[in-house]
Each structure stands twice: as C-alpha cells, then as structure tokens.
A and B are shown apart, each in its own frame.
Chain A
Amino acid sequence: MATPASTPAPAPENAVVKWIDQRLPIFEFVRHHLKDYPTPRNLNYLWNFGSIAGVMLVVMIVTGVMLAMQYTAHVDLAFDSVERIMREVNYGWLLRYLHMNGGSFFFLAIYIHLFRGMYYGSYKAPREILWWLGLIILVLMMMTAFTGYVLPWGQMSYWAATVITNLFSAIPWVGDSVVTWLWGGFSVDNPTLNRFYALHYLLPFMIFAVVFVHLWALHTVKSNNPLGVEPKTRQDTIPFHPYYTAKDFFGFGMFFLVYLAIVFFAPNLFSEPDNYIPANSLVTPPHIVPEWYFLPYYAILRSIPDKLLGVIAMFGSILILFFLPWLDRSKIKSGKFRPIFKQLFWLLVADSIVLGWVGGNRPDELFYSVSFLTIGRVATAYYFGHFLVLLPAIASIEKPKPVPESISAAVGAKSKD
C-alpha cells in the first residue's frame, strides 16, 4: 500500500493495541487510511459524494438483508410477500421504502460523483484505473438495480425483465439461446425470478469488494482536488480526520434530509403505479418505462432504428467512458482552467437530462410538433459526438487559463483577497 504519511506514526500506547498491531496491523491501517491520510486542503462539497455513496451501499445492504428475511422468491408468492412486508411486518414499510428509494439516491450520489470526476479531470493520469474501477462499480450497480426491480413481481417487474433480457436476442446467431439460458425456460418465469434473487443478493457484495479496490487505488494515487494540481508540500494537505470526517458527516446529514423526506412523504414518487399490479405474462402495460436512472440509456436504445445497433449504442454509452482518459488529450485536469471544456461539460449534463426526459416519453409523441424520437436521435448523436469529436478536438484549440503553482499558493492568494 501507500507509503506512510509525512508525519511518522507515533507508537501505540495501549498494550493491547500494540499486541494486536504486531500480529495484524489493523489499528495502524485504520490510523493510516482514515486519520492521517493526507488530503488536499481545498476539497469542496462535491467531494462528499464518494463517501455518501459508500454510506448508501451500507444502507442498501442492511435494509436488503432485513427484507430478504421476509421475502419469498417464487412467482406465486413474491408479490404477496412484498405486500405482507408492507402491511404485516413490523416496520416492513420503512425497510422497503428505505430500500426502494435508497436505490434512487444511491444512483443520484453516484451520478454526481461521476460528473464531478468528469469536470475536475479526475480520470486523468495517474487516476485511470481508479476511474475504471468506479465505472465497474456503476455497471455492477446497474445489474443489481435491474435484478432487484424484478423481485416484487409486479407488472413493471415482469416486463422490465422481459424487455431487458430480450436485448440479448439481438446478438447474432446465438441470441435466442442466450435469452433462453438467461431465463432458464422459454419465457420469464420462476427460474428467472429465483436466479435474479440470487444475483441481487450476490452483486452488492461484489460491489463492496470493488469499492475496497477503488479506495486502495485512491489511497495510492491520492485524491484529486478542485484545482487539479497535485499536492507538493505538507502545506497542501490536511489529515483526513478530523477535517474531512467532519465535513463528510455534515454531507451525510444534508443528503439524508432529502432522502428521508422522500421516504416519509413521497415514497412512491420514483415508482410506477403499474408495479402494484401482479405480473401477468399475457398483458403488456401500455407504457413501459424504466426507473429514472436508466431513462437516458433507454432513450439511446430507442433512438436507433436497428435492433442490434440500438443495443450496441446503449452499452456503448457506458463503454465509451472507459476511454475518457485518452479521448481528453488536454494536460490540464480541472475544468476550472478550461474555458471551452467547461461549456461543453455543462452541455453534456444538459444532454444527459434531455436523454432522460426523452426516455420517459413515448417516441411517437410530439413536443411542439417535434417527435421525441427526433429529439432522442439528436441528443444521442450529441452524446457520442461530445466524446468522439468535440473532446479530442478542443484540446489543441483551447487556451487554458493560468494554473496555480500549488494548492497552498492558490488558497493563500484567495484568503488575501
């Protein structure tokens, strides 16, 4: 792991701590990574969302384990067992609403975390692997969210499972066999529900493991910061505890204020009423939409008229992010000093929101005489254009603003103003 912080760790005073540390240096590990870890002194509140996402993972695992003790993964019993959790189990409604909305807020934290990394160039050398690990966590989260959405076995659960598994039928030659294999039958049925439950329980622990490796990489290359200038001297950093533990806990409080407001006052805000109708394999609901955090990908899928190419574009929209460290050729990390990049960044955020809005509407519907299909096509083209054309192109034409020499120099200049 990383070399010790600049201050030499004092020898532990407690004899028990000393005895344990000599055999397994767990106290030293905690001190090194959670207390002394030298953190840039200029992190803003956007740097809270990594630890917020970590807390959400814990909330999801704890509520999920409690729900698993009451849930039954069988097509005849699943829907009723969820209703039983809502009506009969002590605080079952609270556990389920925390879990259901927790998914939304976990994705919210992750998306802010991801866009923060994009704006401040946190994917650039030497943080490429850190960035990849984050994207792997995102993909695992998407798999977890999808398998979890199927478990209540309502109409939306069933048809989400049908439509998403059918995406794989677009694979040439073996597509249909792959779909049958995913289903364990000839349609989405009991074997499908059972395996999705097994995977929904397994995947969060895989996420947990990748989070650990993500933090390992983070503590090796150290945190980026709003200036994108690497710390050089001790004046540039402060110990993680108590400075950032305090700041993080304040962030948890603010985030939970919003999360719990939704849980208690609008618990069904993000869900579709159709999912309170038991699954029926013979009737498709008239308007199928995924959860809000999948809407942009859904819009990309539908904007391409060819089935296979649509599926490729949808997966490509995530895959392309793995190449971001090389598509952005600018040596300057922070968007703060990049006048053109800064504007393109906000256009990309707007484009993602437009894609989400399109994904929530039927493609044939009109918005001021323009069909959502057309808007979706333009927004999809812009999304890929941003990464494949604009981002590589601006590196050579953009004139960056002067970058400060060090974090302490910039912070010092600011406090003199």
Chain B
Amino acid sequence: MAETAAKTDEPGETRRDFLYLATTAVGVAGAVAALWPFIDSMNPAADIRALSSTEVDLSPVAVGQRITAKWRGKPVFIDHRTPEEIKRAEQDDNADLRDPEKDQARVKKPEWLVVIGICTHLGCVPLGQKPTDPRGEWAGWFCPCHGSAYDTSGRIRKGPAPRNLAVPLYEFTADNMITIG
C-alpha cells in the first residue's frame, strides 16, 4: 500500500488507497464469514442435538444400589444413597474441598445422587458402580486412569481432576421418574 502511494503524483493518502483498503477489508471479512459454515458443520448436528434427553425409571433401584444411564452418549451415575452415605457427604460440606460445593446443592432429593460418570481430568469413566469396584478413600468413585478419588457426593477429593463430577440438568417428572437433559 505504502509503495502504491509513493508512486502516485499526489502526496499523502489518495482516494485510490482508500478504495484498496476498503476493498481488501470487505474481501477479508467476507472470506472469514464464508468460513463459518465449514467450521459449524463440524458441530453437533440437529439429529444429535434432538437426542438430548433421556428418561430413567428409578423404582427398581434399591437403597445402596448404583445404576448407569446413558445420556448424550455419556454414562450418568445414579446412586440411591443410604442414610450413612448422605450423612457422610453432608458432614464433609466444610472439609477442605478442591471444588467447594454443598451436598445439598448437588441433589434434588438427598437419597438420589445424579452425576455424569466422566472423570473431569481426561474423560475416563471412574469405577465404583458395582459393589465389587474400588471406590477410593471417600467411598464414592475412583478413576483408574490417573488416580482421582471422588466422595459420596461425587466431589473431587484427591488426584489430578480439577472439578467435581458434573451434575446434569434433570428433573423429577414423577416420584420415581427423572428426565435427564
């Protein structure tokens, strides 16, 4: 641009310089805008977004039992907690937590804990759904990949994971029925 200006007869910026700049700017903006459909086509498609809620019937789940539901391709841990487990989780509300959260804020009904069963470190599925699985020092879940341990509220207590197991959006549609998503 500067060279073009220097070669013209008029000193300083010319009308032509302005036209060059404006044309280039519009061209670049247009090219960037045209990129968006290509990038966005790789985001979740409408049919995938439509499959975003799952209904789970909780009536067959006994006290102390944990089941795994599938929501958006991810495992969701549903824990029918025992009174001891609830007590333990509430007692630890004021413990030294990496990602401080009250147990109350993580449940809709204290006996039902619903969390996404994906370790917040690098996405492995923690162990603890079966009674025979290792559940870690805090009797919640234990991730075998890099050793993160979660408590009975799904809160991170030890290991490399930065955050608590996420609580998905869900609501009780009946006494023993939840809709996740």
Interfacial residues, chain A to chain B (CB-CB below 8 A): 159, 162-163, 165-167, 169, 180-189, 191, 195, 281-284, 286-288, 302, 305, 307, 363-364
Contact = CB atoms under 8 A, between A and B. Distances in A.
A189 B73 contact: yes
A283 B117 CA distance: 10
A185 B72 contact: yes
Interface string B124-140: 11000000000000000
A163 B70 contact: no
B144 A282 contact: no
B144 A185 contact: no
Nearest to B52: A186
Contacts of B34: none
B48 A184 contact: yes
A114 B128 CA distance: 45
Nearest to A285: B144
Nearest to A301: B122
Contacts of B125: 282-284
Contacts of A283: 125
Q: A184, A195, A282 — which one has the most chain B CB atoms within 10 A of its CB? A: A282
Given A159-B124, A163-B145, A284-B124, A191 B48 contact: yes
B25 to A, nearest CB: 26
A185 B49 CA distance: 8
A165 B44 CA distance: 15
Contacts of B73: 185-189, 281
A363 B117 CA distance: 23
Q: How big is chain B's contact interface, by range? A: 20 to 34
Nearest to B68: A282
A333 to B, nearest CB: 39
B122 A191 contact: no
B130 to A, nearest CB: 11
Given A185-B48, A186-B73, A364-B147, A195 B121 contact: no
B124 A307 contact: no
A390 to B, nearest CB: 29
Given A163-B145, A185-B73, A186-B72, A288 B124 contact: yes
Q: Across chains A and B, which 5 residue pairs bring their CB atoms closest together, nearest first?
A: A187-B73, A186-B72, A166-B123, A284-B124, A284-B125
B127 to A, nearest CB: 8
B42 interface: yes
10 contacts: A184-B45, A184-B48, A186-B48, A191-B44, A191-B48, A282-B75, A284-B143, A284-B145, A287-B144, A307-B121
